Structure 1
Amino acid sequence: MRQLSEHDASFIYSDSAHANSNVTLLHIYDQSTAPGGVVRFKQIQAHVTSRLERLPHLREKILRVPLDLDYPYWIEDSNFNINHHVHHIALPKPGDWRQFCIQCARIHTRPLDLQRPLWEMYVIEGLDSFLDLPVGSFAVLIKIHHAAINMASGAEITSLLHDLTPTTAPPPPPAPWFPEEAPGNLLLFCLTGLNLVTFPLRAAQLVGTQWASFQAAVKTLAGEFLTRPNEFPMTRFNTEVSSSRVYETRRFALKDFGAIRALVPSATVNDVVLAVCGGGLRRYLDLQDELPDTSLVAAAPITVRSGEPSERRSNYAFVRVALSTHLADPVERLAAIQAASSSSAVMAQAVSARELSNLAQHAPSVAIAATSKMLRAASAQLGNWVPLANCTITNVPGARMPLYLQGARLTHMSAIMPISDGMGLVFSVTGYNDQIAISFTACAEQLPDPAVFAQCLRDSFQELFALANAAPRAVGRTQKTPAARVKKVAKKKVSPA
């Protein structure tokens, strides 16, 4: 039995009828590489069962303290049944890409059963109409609650499922598993009382040893959450969200991002990703006649780990970077992003993550709980929610080498992320093998035409890629590309949300 951290518990408490905290990992496979050219559902189910002991939290469920007097606990599910978590479905004909994205978004949106371990897996067949996939390809979608996963443990789940070669030995029989007995209410009340009694002692220790860092962290977080949102323009993505989601993704060659970053000295692949996302946002909002005169801002979460690896505690700080959507020239935009991402302001925000880490190492529950309570109290005075930025851009760890599931080669990997009121657009960036996938999750009412937005992303990339191949030159901040060389997107109007 383990208690959730304040951060992880917040994902449980923040679930609502129109916004839950599900994270969905999406994998597509070519089964022609498997022995016999076929991978059956029962093989995948047996494969997952044989590896559950490597990630024991997949057999743990939430136990809430009566009256929510304390944070919930992870306990082993004595009624765990793999059939409740691994499912088999197929797309209806013709089974095209748009149907697939709609189905994935629907699965992602459905809330998980809090009476069971907070994850589900879907094996999806019927993908034969995909033009860029071999016949017989199938997908595996893994949905897990954010309270049970961070991006690092998402990589652990990917490792759990896959092998490095297409030929593997049959999975051994699952080891015997005997779940621990769930605690009774009396024990929960005793533990809650102990936490309340020891709180002043832990708070005093925090004040005596980490007061300066605590002040800096509170000041930084208060500024991040309460003052910075006034410094960027509001868009359609910064309003209340509905319960419907849309998802799309586009894949790119990693080497092409390397060619683009040569346009600006010291630019990184991450800078190019930000430039492509910023260019896509500029194009889409321009089509809607909603492009602000000032730059949109993206928030990128940074993981701050604390405690022992077995505790899996993680907290987040946010780094904000201007996407320079007010600049029409794509190379100028990339140069501005490169300058912003390496500026002292961003470095100062990264330091705040280290301060939070120091706090968490000495008194994680006290520091984070106190900070969170202050922010929630201040946020309640301003309204139900305060946007952190116009959108979020987050990295989802992948693998640099080909991966296989029961011999089927993984060909595509992406992610569907949770959104919330005021933050209705999230980009997830996944690197796998020699590819980069840029995916987005959004509220269906705020983004009713995801295929158009996906094309805007593709056009943003192609614009930079064409300039990178035009001449072997680098453009710095003092040497600008003439705006006349930038090909404008056609002014095709799209009905606003």
Structure 2
Amino acid sequence: MVNRLSPDDAMYYFLDGAGTTTHLGTLSILDPAQGDGAPLDYPRLVALVENRLQQMPRYRQTVTEVSLGLARPLWIDDPDFDVTFHVRLSAIPQPGSDTQLQELIARVMSRPLDRRRPMWELYLIEGLTGGRLAILTKTHRCLVGDGSHPEISEVITDESADTPRLDDDLWMPGRRPSARSVTLGALAEAMARPGEFADSVLHGGGPIADLLSFADRSARFVGTTVQQLVNSAPDSPLNAAPTSARLFTFASVPRAAVLGVANRFECTFNDVVLGIVTGVMRRWMLSIRDSIAHGETMRAVLPLGARDGVAESRRAGGGWLCAGCPEFITDLPIGEDAPSVRLMQVAGLADRYSQSQRRMTSGLRPMLPELGVVPFADFSTRVFNGLFQRSYNVPISMSDHQITRRYVGGVPVAALYTIPALVARRALAISVNEYCERVEFGFFADRNVMGDLPAMAGYVADSLEELRTGGFGPRPVTRIPVAPPAADDDEVQS
């Protein structure tokens, strides 16, 4: 049976380009001192990953494109698969600070994945203070889909210190088809459904469609899912042309403190989280500008599931990556001085827009046909991405549940951060997880646009403190010089 990329997977595959790498990941910080089992070392981690790969078929497959774009690419078993190429050992020098760890992560996440091999990497990072370890995963977005295609960090972690070992599975790669057979197979598949093939050519993502019906498709596309573009997002350096250099930083605050603010103001838990993010973005804007006009906003897109439930009814367990979830666009009132008033505005706007069809989006969706004639797929996805470049300023990945304690090889995970994908025309992406009794924020950014990203960690604590103390006035913000946005020649030309 032909295992072809879905339209969504193909879109993410083709979205990679200059300044854009659609991989995401997680950072798990492990503390062997909190456990009572054997320490985790590289050989044990390799054995664990190899044992769990049977639950993730795509992680031993490469993506093979079809000649002339006659169909979407195929998942093909990698005949030379070597788990030690993907699972790597790294270390940071003394003193092993969080700042050094964040810089290492930024360098790793700046590099594109090797498309000739299965598109994922996993790093065991040693040398952190206190004998801690870190595991960094880096996975192309096309490998991660619904619940049947989890990210590797969700598979190698367990809910107890007892590490279950799956029955040994003797994996043998299937025979790799020749380019000729792949092409003939695409033609045969198309000819078996000539009606769909013709419709795909005329109304899909191929060159004839680009010439004959692009305007019609664009009009229908805008009319159904991009109505918010009429009222585009405010001008922001966050929509600058990106480069390939990245920065990453993280911060965490007590979950009890966030819950206390939610109870005090009678709003949802995620209202407070979004209020913290709004305070962070306000402080960042004040660090690069002299002032912010009253009523000024920033536009964010976040999962619709983040609006479900109040703090008292939040569920526990489950995964932590929101991939392909329905989303909505809301405004962050960064121009409001009073933190308490700002929180109420955040809650009201999010509640209103999460119920507005004009602010709904089902997430990134491809301008590719179901059958998949995609000669100009890379062009189509860039056009699609261009349509969305002004619909919002910053994406926020926000969990809809509390994640309970996890273990890797019996070693407790002390902290868990997600690293969102940074797509074109976005200089910053934010992720938020509830892990155990902490709320953990990850900030992933373009280095040339947001050279001051490390300051975000301090802004998180400041923003929460404003809400806890009920302050009604502005707080001082340290001005930080920011390098002017820079773009490489390839991005400017494209």
* 2:134 alignment partner, one of 114, 136, 139: 139
- Which residue does the alignment assign to 2:225? 221
- TM-superposed deviation, 1:178: 1.2
- Which residue does the alignment assign to 2:208? none
* 1:148 alignment partner, one of 143, 152, 162: 143
State yes or no: 1:365 paired with 2:370: yes
Corresponding residue pairs, total? 447
Distance in 1 between residues matched to 2:147 and 2:275, nearest whole Å: 25
- Which residue does the alignment assign to 2:182? 188
For the 8 Å contact 1:400–1:433, the answer to whether it is kept is yes
State yes or no: 1:289 paired with 2:289: yes
Paired amino acid for 1:389:
Y
- Which residue does the alignment assign to 1:447? 450
Distance in 2 between residues matched to 1:386 and 1:347, nearest whole Å: 21
- Which residue does the alignment assign to 1:179? 173
- Which residue does the alignment assign to 1:260? 261
Shift in CA distance, 344/111, structure 1 to aligned 2, threshold 3 Å: closer
Shift in CA distance, 451/182, structure 1 to aligned 2, threshold 3 Å: same
Distance in 1 between residues matched to 2:327 and 2:373, nearest whole Å: 15
Distance in 2 between residues matched to 1:5 and 1:194, nearest whole Å: 18
Distance in 1 between residues matched to 2:414 and 2:198, nearest whole Å: 50
- Which residue does the alignment assign to 2:242? 241
Q: Find the residue that maps to 1:115 and give its secondary structure.
A: coil
User: 1:209-251, CA deviations, whole angstroms, 9 ceiling, x for partnerless residues?
Assistant: xxxxx99765132424x4342xx32122111111111111111
State yes or no: 1:412 paired with 2:415: yes
Question: Normalised by the size of structure 2, how large is the TM-score?
Answer: 0.80
Shift in CA distance, 109/64, structure 1 to aligned 2, threshold 3 Å: same
Shift in CA distance, 414/8, structure 1 to aligned 2, threshold 3 Å: same
Q: Which 5+ residue runs of structure 2 have no aligned equivalent? A: 204-217, 306-322, 484-494
- Which residue does the alignment assign to 2:474? 488
- TM-superposed deviation, 1:317: 4.7
For the 8 Å contact 2:329–2:359, the answer to whether it is kept is no
Q: Find the residue that maps to 1:88 and give its secondary structure.
A: strand
Question: Normalised by the size of structure 1, how large is the TM-score?
Answer: 0.80
Shift in CA distance, 184/291, structure 1 to aligned 2, threshold 3 Å: farther
Paired amino acid for 2:102:
C
State yes or no: 1:459 paired with 2:462: yes
Paired amino acid for 1:183:
P
For the 8 Å contact 2:37–2:411, the answer to whether it is kept is no
- TM-superposed deviation, 1:350: 7.1
Shift in CA distance, 388/68, structure 1 to aligned 2, threshold 3 Å: same
User: 1:133-182, CA deviations, whole angstroms, 9 ceiling, x for partnerless residues?
Assistant: xx21100111100111147568563442122222346x467421111112
- TM-superposed deviation, 1:390: 1.2
- Which residue does the alignment assign to 1:63? 64
Shift in CA distance, 344/87, structure 1 to aligned 2, threshold 3 Å: closer
Shift in CA distance, 379/364, structure 1 to aligned 2, threshold 3 Å: closer
Q: CA RMSD in A?
A: 3.6
Distance in 1 between residues matched to 2:301 and 2:23, nearest whole Å: 19
Paired amino acid for 2:132:
S
Aligned-residue identity in percent: 23
Distance in 1 between residues matched to 2:146 and 2:417, nearest whole Å: 12
Q: Find the residue that maps to 2:370 and give its secondary structure.
A: helix
Paired amino acid for 2:458:
Q
Paired amino acid for 1:439:
G
Q: Find the residue that maps to 2:289 and give its secondary structure.
A: coil
- Which residue does the alignment assign to 1:280? 280
For the 8 Å contact 2:126–2:134, the answer to whether it is kept is yes
